[in-house]
Amino acid sequence: MPPPSLAVMTAVTRETSLGIRQVSEETGLSIDTLRWYEREGLLPLVERSADGRRRYPPGALRFIRLVQALRRTGMPVADVRRFVTLGGGELANHPERMALLEQQCAQIEQRMVELRDDLTVVQAKIAQYRELIARGVDCEDELPDDLLAQISADPRLRGVVPGLPA
């Protein structure tokens, strides 16, 4: 049996498949980036319409979103490619693909912890500014209390740091 004509395929997918512009708007990836991803082997399943333009069926769109999730969460392009080229739906590859994703999950969770910690650091600094402003104090307190104590305890250093109690 010959494959169904392109015309038939088109008839079926026209309504659901998207042009590159629409995908770009839908995903936030630039048109250039979509084309570049494809060249780089990150999007293997892009169809073409009769006149050679890209058509993205919904499956492709969802795949793009997965790729996007991987990229946004810091997976390097090379690793995404690895994941993608492992594709083709062969059962034998499923474990490795899964392993890659699980690894990425671990990365993400680690990243989330780091992010939380960094957020705490920034918030602490904000609190400090709030305090300084409230007290109308100019100086940064980059000097820790213990060093300040040390300095004021040392008569040779009297006057090094302004604003210390004599």
- For residue 33, the minimal CB distance to a copy of itself (Å) is 17
Q: Which stretch binds a copy of itself (CB under 8 A): 21-29, 32-40, 48-56, 98-106?
A: 98-106
70 binds, among DNA, a copy of itself, none (CB under 5 to 8 A by kind): a copy of itself
Could you say whether residue 32 binds DNA (CB under 7 A)? yes
**Positions in 37-76 near DNA (CB under 7 A):** 39, 50-54, 71, 76
- For residue 38, the minimal CB distance to DNA (Å) is 7
Distances from the Cα of 165 to the Cα of 22, 142, 149, 162, angstroms: 67, 17, 10, 9
Could you say whether residue 118 binds DNA (CB under 7 A)? no
# chain residues binding a copy of itself, by CB under 8 A: 69
CB 83 within 8 A of CB 97: yes
8 binds, among DNA, a copy of itself, none (CB under 5 to 8 A by kind): a copy of itself
Out of 21, 111, 149, 161, point to the residue binding a copy of itself (CB under 8 A).
111
Could you say whether residue 100 binds DNA (CB under 7 A)? no
Residue 62, both tokens: 């969802």
Could you say whether residue 108 binds DNA (CB under 7 A)? no
Q: What is the DSSP letter of 18?
A: B
Query: Toward a copy of itself, which CB reaches closer, 30 or 128?
Result: 128
Rounded CA-CA distance 8/98 in Å is 35
Beta bridge partners of 47: 55
Q: How is the chain split among helix, strand and coil, in percent rounded to 5?
A: 65, 5, 35
CA angle 38, 44, 76 (to 5 degrees): 60
CB 57 within 8 A of CB 16: yes
- For residue 23, the minimal CB distance to a copy of itself (Å) is 15
